[in-house]
């Protein structure tokens, strides 16, 4: 009996240690691109250090209380034939003690909590990149009012610059979540919620809608692409071409029909025709077409869709094959998606559209 309690005692020490190890193993962050445990932005760091404080206290309390519980379970096992144990009804001293001690521990969590609440509640002063985020069923729209850009699903930001997000929704409640850079904040129609962050490294950070928003909530992904300043500047320039917010989408002569005709680029002309006659124009803004200047349409601005790494809210890599799949039957790719084509496209139309869309870098 003595021996077995010894083993049990050792098991008691090892079990939580093992659990922690497992947790840490489970947290090797490179395996989890969407992890909250490897912050890469200042906001996420504030949250993370608070999280680590709470985790530390939770672990201490966990080991102590579970330890005492398991100890008591083994220490006080009895047989029906044993004498009745002493009939203790309570003990005021220990009862006061175990009311006060947890309260004190909570204070160690409460103080940094309140500090962090206030530190995260307003954007730090200084120069910021302002971006408007609009949640839609089931994709994300971004507008850069200062830079005059409208884009979708992939948010480009410069490294080491504070980004200030003003977030709203075009339909139902969503939640914009970028775990490694900041955290999440719900977005509501007719209301603006803020979130800010400063990314500390360049890279590609996945995120996702975190508030249930209907059928395709599970496929409402996004990415944040943190660029070095020169890369970001180049991207901005590119996106401004034909942007609905710049001269109502007016495009340079090199992107006009006559320029296409002059170079004998019939695919672009045919693609554009399919874009008009296939109904795309009803939902998508597109440089060089009648909708170039519109920001009120139901679907994403496609003027630079070719420059994205993914399409359909992060669901598909932006490859010709995937684009073809998507245009062939959007409802088969993403059931219920609000991209409802007025008529199926022909093989030729799809081929031309794929080339046309991919050329819109």
Chain residues binding ligand HEC by CB under 6 A are 138-139, 152-153, 275, 278-280, 282-284, 298-300, 302, 305, 308, 311-313, 327, 334, 337-341, 345, 353, 357
Task: Decide whether 201 or 262 has the Cβ nearer to another protein.
Answer: 201
Q: Are 170 and 213 in contact (CB under 8 A)?
A: no
Tell me the backbone φ, ψ of residue 135, rounded to 5 degrees.
Answer: -80, 135
Which pair of tokens denotes residue 281? 């124009």
The DSSP H or E segment spanning 157 is strand 154-158
SS3 221: strand
Question: What does DSSP say about strands 310-311 and 221-227: parallel, antiparallel, or unpaired?
Answer: unpaired
Q: How far is the CB of 109 from another protein (least distance, A)?
A: 6
Residue 294 binding: pick among Cu ion, another protein, ligand HEC, none (C-beta 5-8 Å cut-off by kind): none
Task: Decide whether 36 or 298 has the Cβ nearer to ligand HEC.
Answer: 298
Q: How far is the CB of 236 from ligand HEC (least distance, A)?
A: 18
Binding mask 170-199 for Cu ion (x = CB under 5 A): ----x-------------------------
Q: Are 207 and 167 in contact (CB under 8 A)?
A: no
Question: What is the distance of C-alpha 47 from the center of its chain?
Answer: 16
Q: Which of the ranges 149-157, 176-184, 201-209, 254-262 carries the binding residues for Cu ion, by CB under 5 A?
A: 201-209
Interface with Cu ion, residue 119, by CB under 5 A: no
- Other C-beta atoms within 10 Å of 147: how many? 20
Closest CA to 349 of 255, 273, 263: 273
Q: How far is the CB of 286 from ligand HEC (least distance, A)?
A: 9
Count of positions on this chain that bind Cu ion (CB under 5 A): 5
Per CB under 5 A, which of residues 216..275 are in contact with Cu ion?
Answer: 217, 220
Alpha-carbon span 129 to 124, nearest angstrom: 12
Q: How far is the CB of 217 from ligand HEC (least distance, A)?
A: 11
Residue 340 binding: pick among another protein, Cu ion, ligand HEC, none (C-beta 5-8 Å cut-off by kind): ligand HEC
Alpha-carbon span 173 to 175, nearest angstrom: 7
Q: How far is the CB of 206 from ligand HEC (least distance, A)?
A: 14
């Amino acid at each position: 009996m003595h021996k077995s309690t010894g083993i049990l005692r050792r098991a008691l020490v090892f079990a939580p240690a093992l659990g922690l190890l497992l947790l840490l193993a489970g947290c090797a962050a490179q395996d989890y691109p969407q992890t909250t445990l490897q912050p890469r932005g200042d906001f996420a760091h504030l949250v993370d250090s608070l999280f680590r404080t709470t985790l530390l206290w939770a672990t201490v309390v966990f080991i102590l209380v579970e330890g005492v519980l398991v100890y008591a379970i083994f220490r006080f096992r009895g047989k029906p034939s044993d004498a009745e144990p002493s009939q203790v009804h309570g003990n005021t001293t220990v009862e006061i003690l175990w009311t006060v001690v947890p309260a004190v521990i909570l204070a160690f969590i409460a103080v940094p909590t309140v500090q962090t609440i206030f530190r995260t509640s307003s954007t730090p002063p200084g120069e910021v990149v302002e971006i408007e985020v609009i949640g839609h069923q089931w994709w994300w729209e971004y507008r850069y009012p200062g830079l005059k850009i409208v884009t979708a699903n992939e948010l480009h930001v410069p490294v080491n610059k504070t980004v200030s997000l003003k977030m709203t929704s075009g339909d139902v409640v969503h939640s914009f979540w970028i775990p490694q850079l900041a955290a999440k904040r719900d977005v509501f129609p007719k209301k603006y919620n803020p979130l800010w962050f400063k990314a500390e490294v360049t890279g590609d950070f996945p995120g996702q809608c975190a508030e249930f928003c209907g059928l395709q909530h599970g496929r409402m992904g996004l990415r944040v692409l943190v660029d070095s300043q020169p890369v970001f500047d180049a991207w901005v320039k590119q996106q401004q071409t034909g942007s609905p917010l710049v001269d109502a989408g007016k495009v340079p002569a090199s992107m006009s029909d006559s320029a296409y005709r002059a170079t004998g680029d019939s695919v672009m002309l045919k693609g554009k025709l399919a874009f008009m006659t296939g109904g795309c124009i009803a939902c998508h803004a597109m440089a060089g077409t009648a909708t170039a200047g519109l920001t009120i349409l139901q679907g994403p601005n496609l003027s630079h869709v070719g420059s994205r790494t993914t399409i359909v809210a992060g669901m598909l890599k932006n490859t010709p094959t995937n684009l073809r799949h998507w245009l062939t039957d959007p409802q088969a790719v993403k059931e219920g998606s609000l991209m409802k084509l007025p008529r199926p496209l022909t093989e030729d139309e799809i081929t031309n559209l794929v080339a046309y869309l991919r050329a819109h870098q």
